[in-house]
Structure 1
Amino acid sequence: MALLIRVYALLIHGLMVAFVAGNVVLRGDNIFMSFDDVEANFTPKIKGSGENGVLYLADPIDACSPLKNRVVGDSNSPFVLIIKGICSFDDKVRNAQNAGYKAAIIYDCEDSIPLVEMRGTPDGIKIHSVFISKTSGKMLKEYIDRSDVETWILSNSENRPLSIKVVSFLALLAVVVGMATCLHGRNIIHERFIVSRVQEFHGMSRSLVKAMQSMRFTNVLEDNCTSSACAICLEDYSTGEKLRILPCHHMFHAICVDSWLTSWRTFCPVCKRDARTTINIPPASESTPLLSSDFQSPSSSILMSSLAKSLPVPTV
């Protein structure tokens, strides 16, 4: 059950990831954020599964002059965060490229809605660049220079059909897992209920039942206790069949009443008197109530019907 719930939670998380609106994604341990962006019209388009790297802050932050914090050696796919203003977008991106950065994320210096498209001349520009809002830029600044957090720039269009398929599959899988979780939980509750009911009932021992009187059926007696049919399986008695006599003097097929007393209830199916008693009980008559005042069971008729269906039918 716990495993199913965990899987379901992971699927819900997958759906949340698949439905993100933005193409700039920040991902790390217990961190997942996405931001809306607009790709520059003068830089190479992002293809495939996107680009990722560690985010750094430009120095100077507007990148309108050569950056002082250049990439040294084989850095881990560095991205640079730049603020809008002072100079053109393409100048900022060229300075980031000359400093060795793989991509430039430029954020607005004003609270503008919607995001503007970055325009410029593409001459010599080989790195990617996107534009995000002022609020998104402030949030990204809190995660700069952290190697344990990845910044992703995803494709705007090429992955969209795949994303739709992934979302559809995850949604279907989430529904299936949810239904399986509900069914599994219901089965567990049902099993626990059955076990509790079984544990509550303590039937008579087989040795005690076998010690009761028995006889071979010959014909119907005139004692109001022996009829022509067993009250449990409702089958007529056949000559020579073994009948069990309960302390209340009612008689049944031995196989029927033995199963009743050991597996279902410990009272007579007819008069409801406790079959475990050793007190001499007078034979029943027309004035004997079918349900005694000292024991009543509203479920006895259901139990008798269930037992009649489960017991083998005596043969002639």
Structure 2
Amino acid sequence: MGIPNRFSALGFLLWLALLEFCCTTSADVLLIGNNVTLSFAAVEANFALPVKGSGVCGVLYLADPIDACSQLVNEVTQLPNAASPFALIVRGGCSFEDKVRRAQKAGFKAAIVYDNKADGDLVPMAGNSAGIKIHAVFVSKVSGELLQNYAGSTNVELWIIPSFEYSAMSIPAIFLISLLAISTVLATCFFVRRHRIRQEGPRAPRVREFHGMGSRLVKAMPSLIFTAVLEDYCTSRTCAICLEDYSVGEKLRVLPCHHKFHALCVDSWLTLWRTFCPVCKRDARTSIGEPPASERTPLLSSSPASMASSSALSSARSSVESLLTVQIAGASRPPSASQSPSLSSIYLQQ
């Protein structure tokens, strides 16, 4: 059995034990006659046959001897109208179990034991349930003395009706049960989660990729207070991030590419998202001394391929100029002004 199952079983058994400790099975003894109806509180014995359903009905007889500490003299037989004989017994002299067993042996179907002390509390009678086949309840001394007046009377009915109530310790016990139940559930969840983590094995920590710049580098970039539109760039009058026109007095941040934005907007962009300009894509970490970006060419590239292409174009132009110079210098007769093309026109044709 796993650890979570052990905790669940332990909590369940403890809950049952506390429930049985704090709750007692009670009953009501009703006496119904032609012009009288009496009700008496009672507690069922924990070793006798429990009262179920609508209860049991019978006729009350006084036990002889009254304490039932010896064999009863008044043995009863089957009564008419299918009524069951009940024995009224006083507490004391011997155990509850002995009293109930002697009442059963004498033919009674239920034993009503009343207290011998006036200020006594109703307690569940304890004993061994082996062989006990009759009902048994415990009532107070006052109730027993009143019931004696109707012992042997066949014109009244005596009912034992089951009921259920909590003892005086029910509130603390319920609180303790709830606390233990919550603790058991939490402990079960903890160990189940721990068991799953062990089965799955260690996981690689998730590292969040950071794409932004440091706040110090961003704050070191130049800024200005907007007063009026001084240039004809789109970022000179409108922030390309929030798409709002600048207002007089707002602080603008100037990137190395000379594009301007709201300081708050571009600072968030550079520190949390990317390190390049939102308009021209130039890296904001480059030097300000590089040529400024043009609004007509929003995508600038500084890749090695573009640099190689520019170098090849410059080399080709130098070669053409050298070739034309050699041809003009080696001619035997200089051509007339009308026949010889100018160097600038040849260069343009090339």
TM-score (norm: length of structure 2) = 0.38
Larger radius of gyration: 2
